[in-house]
Amino acid sequence: MASITVYNLEYLCGRSETFSTDVSNLFDTNFDEKVQSVHIPAGSTWMLYQKNGYQGQVKILGPGDYNTVRSLGLQNYSFSSLRPFPSATVPTVLLFKDSNYRGRMVVAHCKLSELATIGFNDAISSAIVLKSNWTFYEDADFKGTEVVLTPGRYPEPILFKDNVVSSIKPTDSSIIVYRHIITSAAARPSPVPCPTCPTMWCLHAGFRQVPPGCFTSKPTTRAQ
Ligand SMILES: [Ca+2]
Ligand SMILES: [Ca+2]
């Protein structure tokens, strides 16, 4: 089970408290002092937030001893809320209501044809894809503009628009297909074979907000 121990003095000294689940406000717990150092045991990763309710700046910390909060780049504040970062042995995506992994979080492992059923319709502002590719759809029932997110962190709605996603599902991670949002049919370019990698496809000017590189599948474009 994930756990984290916080201390009220630097170098893991003083009074401590160990948590194994979400804490939305440290000041509501037995530990109502400023966190000065943190211990995270092997196998655990935690998200620590500047403000209560999972707001403010966030640090995602893996196992280790964090002897001072200053060493984490925190000058005048410490942590007020924290939650465990799930491990992923099956397709997993973390959905956040606010940008930079803040606010309400939902961990999804299976397709969700209506995010409204979990109170998350048109709400996603950031995401972390842990395992498998995931397709985000603008409309319910896997319809509308769509984008495939590969494993990685998406602190801002760069590849998808803010507060529009209504359904999601894990997709084959062996094929990378990017469907790009094109503002008009006239602006829609044709993907072309890569001149240097004969089996790959290139992404060219006109695609919006495209990660760099070549891809194994011909990108599909959709007029918005
Ligand atoms: Ca939002
Ligand atoms: Ca929508």
CA of 102 to the centre of ligand 1 (A): 9
How many angstroms separate the CA atoms of 129 and 157, rounded?
A: 13
| % of residues, the chain, pLDDT over 90 | 54
Q: Which ligand is nearest to the CA of 143?
A: 2
For 3-24, write each residue's pLDDT tens digit.
999 999 999 999 999 999 999 9
CA of 19 to the centre of ligand 1 (A): 28
How many angstroms separate the CA atoms of 54 and 48, rounded?
A: 8
- Give the distance from CA 151 to its chain's centroid: 9
CA of 142 to the centre of ligand 2 (A): 10
Q: Is 6 helix (H, G, I), strand (E, B) or coil?
A: strand
Q: Is 223 helix (H, G, I), strand (E, B) or coil?
A: strand
Residue 89 confidence (pLDDT): 81
Q: Which CATH superfamily is domain 4-84 in?
A: Crystallins (2.60.20.10)
* Architecture of the structural domain at 92-170: Sandwich (2.60)
Is there a shared CATH topology between the 4-84 domain and the 92-170 domain?
yes
CA of 97 to the centre of ligand 1 (A): 4
Helix (H) / strand (E) containing 134: strand 133-139
What number is the average pLDDT over the span 74-86?
A: 87
What number is the average pLDDT over the span 71-88?
A: 86
pTM of the model: 0.75
Domain boundaries, given as residue ranges, for the chain: 4-84, 92-170, 176-210
Scanning the structure block, which residue is given the tokens 């500047």?
Answer: 50
- Give the distance from CA 102 to its chain's centroid: 10
Token duo for residue 8: 């009220």
CA of 164 to the centre of ligand 2 (A): 4
